[in-house]
Amino acid sequence: MYLKGVEIAGFKSFGERVNINFNQGITSIVGPNGSGKSNILDSILWVLGEQSYKNIRAKESKDIIFSGGEGKKPANFAEVSLHIDNRDRFFPVELEKVKVTRKMYQSGENEYLLNDKKIRLKDINDMFLDTGIGKSAYSVIGQGKVERIISSSNRELKGIIEEAAGIKKFQQQKLESIKK
Known binding positions for ATP: 32-39
Q: Which is nearer to ligand ATP, 71 or 92 (CB)?
A: 71
The answer to whether 30 and 13 are in contact (CB under 8 A) is no
Min CB(30)–Mg ion separation in Å: 11
Q: Which residues contact 28 (CB under 8 A, 6 or more apart)?
A: none
Residue 39 interacts with ligand ATP (CB under 6 A)? Answer: yes
> CA 27, CA 135: separation in Å to the nearest integer?
20
Distances (CA, A) of 107 to 2, 61, 65: 33, 10, 11
Residue 13 interacts with Mg ion (CB under 5 A)? Answer: no
CB neighbourhood size of 63 (10 A): 12
Residue 33 interacts with ligand ATP (CB under 6 A)? Answer: yes
Piece of the chain touching ligand ATP by CB under 6 A; list 66-74, 109-117, 124-132, 167-175: 66-74
- To the nearest 10 degrees (0 to 180), the angle between helices 168-179 and 154-165 is 100
Among 1, 22, 37, 159, binds ligand ATP (CB under 6 A): 37
Residue among 66, 61, 82, 63 nearest 134 (CA) = 82
What angle (nearest 5°) sits at the alpha carbon of residue 8, between those of residues 1 and 62?
125
**Among ligand ATP, Mg ion, none, what does residue 133 contact (CB within 5–8 Å per kind)?**
none
Residue 55 interacts with ligand ATP (CB under 6 A)? Answer: no
Min CB(175)–ligand ATP separation in Å: 36
Piece of the chain touching ligand ATP by CB under 6 A; list 32-40, 104-112, 126-134, 169-177: 32-40
Residues within the interface to ligand ATP (CB under 6 A): 12-13, 31, 33-39, 63-67, 69
Residues within the interface to Mg ion (CB under 5 A): 37-38
